[in-house]
Structure 1
């Protein structure tokens, strides 16, 4: 049994459940920091910062944690691990949510340097996905991690490596030509810009190395390495698995899939005449666990059940997240019902921020917003592009960061023979290959956004919505296409190009995958950073490793998962 409990500084923002589960899976007990005096008593302190820098520092001051934390960190001799924002707060200041360029938000001031934002003109921002590490130190923290293993990042701000802080660098990573600190280590202080709790087996081994070194007193035994100044790392393309979750006719949550949003079986004996029951492809947690074991890079739970009232009462879906996060250590996205609403019985109003918080606390890393984002985009355009701060996107991204907000866009093609047919000049008309021509030979179309699960069309195009939600603070787009959904003929390449070329945030291609080549095609022909599939994996027509092997054969970078947790 370990000789200490891990003190966890959970200041109340974001998904800390996964960090808890990753720590306990390594055999350690957790003690929550609830009062400032507990910081001084801690044997080892882990700070899993989630959200925005400004919000985090505000909470540290309000709860009286700031000064005790600075005291704990002062001599670099007490075991500490800061994760993502928890690492960034160690620096002197940050530009994130600072009032102006000359007044950066003050941090804990342990490491020299300022946290800065990635340049959207040179790369997609946020930096989301699996990337490598250049080792600057030999550290017990990385004892069980091979140099070639990728780890998971999700951030818009970074700490540059410079002459003043380079002795802190344990590893560095490159993205879009920018060299930044991906982990730090000096004495007994450690920080990771990446998320070990979301980096699969590799991440669990990072935590194991850290905690084991605390246990045996070797945490401060590091050695500098010679670093090739020309070394670089590479962000890999992600394979995302979507699980459409809804209640079946008996009230149980199941994973389902259909053609163009029809998820019911054809008529069968014992089912109401004319329509079959909800197609059942498995239980959500069991399927998600399988995909994690098979090397899926991310998993998305998309709740397609119609909400009686709202997500606050949707306990089954919250329980799915809680259970999934116990054994799945890759990013989890959840969508469905992320909006503000009022309980018709009690009259109580829940903000979208409160709804999202319930999902984050249950184990989600990102929330996906659909219909509400389209409505917000319409209002944004009508107002002359004025932000109110009251949309779901703005509220959630302000507290949790843009990287926590995914926008699901569900458009359908509207074929036209010429651009003159399109009355609304804001609609972006896209040229199609002749093989994709419309029913009357049309080789032009615009992509009309829909809401309510594709049941209602709106007079706004996918490109306009994508640009609007980026302005409002979204960090990623999940781009579907109703025409391609369930067809297994490949992703809609023209749509993916139209949107990914119009925004600087990452785009996930969705709808239409049926074989490994479809993933390679969309990665080679567009700028999307990830591609998503559901049915072909659920039905075991294609394995995840088949997709990744085909990507490797096409020289498309992909993650190779670590085999086991060391020592388990």
Structure 2
């Protein structure tokens, strides 16, 4: 059987290709109309907006061949936008017609009652029994191989198909996010599709892909257990995410190593001539994946800022990491307009695109977000459409753009002492007894402060299209004294997009504390994970014991899926 990939040209499809290869199958890209007739199975993945996806299909002349292929009865799998494209249309891009196979319209989540995008690991509740007809795709146990209460999948989307009795015969599973129940997978005849990303859902996701790919092949066993829906109602099972971060640079020997960020002394104290080496980035990232990290973030720092785009070392790191790591990967540092040493200019959108094609799911923007905010405020809080945030978000979706905030406290005696800034009362007085502070944004790895506060930054970036905030704190970083709860709580209240807490974690209790005190969606750490001072599994065990919802560590994750 020949498996084909229908890539409309946006986002990270490398991880899907690598997942298919890991399972033991080959996959080819559809490059022309004739490929539809050659395909035995087609997988249509997608991230980004509904409109650009459909417009790309129409521009390539793929709409009618795809509909003909699906009507032929051959197996088809859609992922995320690939599933949404089966509908009549989407509120995301009114007036753009979908494939009109499912009689439903994709709707936006209510961001008045919850953060949007819906981002993270959630469950899938079976809505119908799966058939015992071995010749039908519906005979395969496509989801919840570990049982409904123990299986989680990675979701990242702002739009979804609402559950309705009118499409009941299409719905395989539903998921609840706060107050909204929506369709998380569909299966009817030869069609199977998921709103979540199997290629980013660890072992559970690989098992779904394996079941679909093995169906109909000789000497390939697929799970055919008939699983009835649980009697318990569908409920929100969104977990808190634990993210491992790696600061990557080259050492004096030219090797890529994981160390601390460039605002710190990266030299060994015992030998000031050597860059501190906490491990090789790909090997360390793989270890985190196997230990249960829900996401992994790479930050490329000072040592290769002036490399040509085609030679950026992190591109190779991402390519290699995505071969064996099947959770979301974020790349930060250097996502900006770039001019090669030979004078060739590359806009930030092109730089981001290269990272996405190399295996990144998100890009993290730091200093450029501060500059963009300054311009946004100068324009009277109006977007220009020209910033990296806006351009990347438009093409790849808000969920692909993370804003990394690097602030430091500035103490004042009263709010009147900083009339142009968002001033907070603090329980921790300043060096001269000050009871108020504001958080100054910094650039250039924390070496330069700007006249912009964190509240201005996060609200401006959300307005420009960012989908997530990574909230660092320079005063807390490396202290192991816990997260800056005052800062994080204020940021969480300021935006309606997900927030990641960062800086200061030193023990498992700090993670419980930040989740309970601020209700953030995720928490990130670096050094304590690198040095094994606090293993990821210990953090998850403590969170579980304190009733904070977390994704279980998948022991089978290191086993072959062949």
What is the TM-score when the length of structure 2 is the normalising length?
0.94
How far residue 310 of structure 1 moved from its aligned partner, in angstroms, is 5.3
**Aligned partners of 1:308 and 1:558: how far apart in 2?**
36
How far residue 35 of structure 1 moved from its aligned partner, in angstroms, is 0.2
Q: Could you tell me which residue of structure 2 aligns to residue 80 of structure 1?
A: 76
How far residue 552 of structure 1 moved from its aligned partner, in angstroms, is 1.1
CA distances 1:405-453 after superposition (whole Å, capped 9, x unpaired): 00101000001111111142xx1111211xx222122221100000010
CA distances 1:19-39 after superposition (whole Å, capped 9, x unpaired): 001001111011211001211
Q: Secondary structure at the match of 1:490?
A: coil
How far residue 45 of structure 1 moved from its aligned partner, in angstroms, is 0.3
1:132 equivalent in alignment to 2:133: no
**Aligned partners of 2:347 and 2:55: how far apart in 1?**
21
Q: Secondary structure at the match of 1:235?
A: coil
1:473 pairs, out of 465, 468, 478, with: 465
**Aligned partners of 1:414 and 1:188: how far apart in 2?**
60
Task: Name which of structure 1's ranges 250-259 and 175-184 shifts more when overlaid on structure 2.
Answer: 250-259
Distance 1:226-1:491 versus aligned 2 partners, 3 A rule: closer
Instruction: List alignment gaps of at least 5 residues for structure 1.
Output: 269-274
How far residue 136 of structure 1 moved from its aligned partner, in angstroms, is 1.6
**Aligned partners of 1:63 and 1:445: how far apart in 2?**
55
Q: Could you tell me which residue of structure 1 aligns to residue 211 of structure 2?
A: 209
How far residue 214 of structure 1 moved from its aligned partner, in angstroms, is 3.5
Segments of 4+ moved more than 4 angstroms: 216-229, 565-568
CA distances 1:96-153 after superposition (whole Å, capped 9, x unpaired): 1x2xxxx432111111100111111011000110001101233512374432211100
Q: Could you tell me which residue of structure 1 aligns to residue 527 of structure 2?
A: 535
Q: Could you tell me which residue of structure 1 aligns to residue 367 of structure 2?
A: 371
Task: Name which of structure 1's ranges 230-239 and 177-186 shifts more when overlaid on structure 2.
Answer: 230-239
Q: Could you tell me which residue of structure 2 aligns to residue 547 of structure 1?
A: 539
Tell me how many residue pairs correspond in the alignment.
548
**Aligned partners of 1:457 and 1:258: how far apart in 2?**
17
Q: Could you tell me which residue of structure 1 aligns to residue 133 of structure 2?
A: none
CA distances 1:290-326 after superposition (whole Å, capped 9, x unpaired): 0000000000001112444356144321100000000
Q: Could you tell me which residue of structure 1 aligns to residue 399 of structure 2?
A: 403
Superposition map of 1:372-391 within 5 A: 372-391=368-387
Q: Could you tell me which residue of structure 2 aligns to residue 271 of structure 1?
A: none
Q: Could you tell me which residue of structure 2 aligns to residue 264 of structure 1?
A: 267
1:89 equivalent in alignment to 2:88: no
**Aligned partners of 1:127 and 1:452: how far apart in 2?**
31
Query: Superposition RMSD on alpha carbons, in Å?
Result: 2.0
**Aligned partners of 1:145 and 1:84: how far apart in 2?**
22
Q: Could you tell me which residue of structure 1 aligns to residue 425 of structure 2?
A: 431
Q: Could you tell me which residue of structure 2 aligns to residue 354 of structure 1?
A: 350
CA distances 1:469-512 after superposition (whole Å, capped 9, x unpaired): 00000000100000001111000000001101000000000010
2:451 pairs, out of 421, 446, 459, with: 459
Whether the aligned pair in 2 keeps the contact of 1:373 and 1:393 (CA below 8 Å) is yes
Whether the aligned pair in 1 keeps the contact of 2:249 and 2:304 (CA below 8 Å) is no
1:32 equivalent in alignment to 2:25: no
Superposition map of 1:60-459 within 5 A: 60-74=57-71, 77-96=73-92, 98=93, 103-137=94-128, 138=130, 139=138, 140=140, 141-142=142-143, 144-148=145-149, 149-215=151-217, 225=228, 228=231, 230-257=233-260, 261-266=264-269, 268=271, 275-309=272-306, 312-343=309-340, 345-346=342-343, 348-424=344-420, 427-433=421-427, 436-459=428-451
Distance 1:567-1:304 versus aligned 2 partners, 3 A rule: closer
Task: Name which of structure 1's ranges 123-132 and 440-449 shifts more when overlaid on structure 2.
Answer: 440-449
How far residue 261 of structure 1 moved from its aligned partner, in angstroms, is 2.8
Q: Secondary structure at the match of 2:279?
A: coil
Q: Could you tell me which residue of structure 2 aligns to residue 502 of structure 1?
A: 494
**Aligned partners of 1:168 and 1:263: how far apart in 2?**
55
Whether the aligned pair in 2 keeps the contact of 1:197 and 1:329 (CA below 8 Å) is yes
Whether the aligned pair in 1 keeps the contact of 2:206 and 2:561 (CA below 8 Å) is no
How far residue 527 of structure 1 moved from its aligned partner, in angstroms, is 2.1
Q: Secondary structure at the match of 2:377?
A: helix
**Aligned partners of 1:308 and 1:533: how far apart in 2?**
24
Q: Could you tell me which residue of structure 2 aligns to residue 525 of structure 1?
A: 517
Distance 1:279-1:308 versus aligned 2 partners, 3 A rule: same
Distance 1:36-1:80 versus aligned 2 partners, 3 A rule: same
**Aligned partners of 1:223 and 1:240: how far apart in 2?**
35
CA distances 1:53-94 after superposition (whole Å, capped 9, x unpaired): 11111110111111101111235x210110111111011101
How far residue 379 of structure 1 moved from its aligned partner, in angstroms, is 0.4
Q: Could you tell me which residue of structure 2 aligns to residue 515 of structure 1?
A: 507
Superposition map of 1:487-498 within 5 A: 487-498=479-490
Task: Name which of structure 1's ranges 114-123 and 218-227 shifts more when overlaid on structure 2.
Answer: 218-227
Q: Secondary structure at the match of 1:361?
A: helix
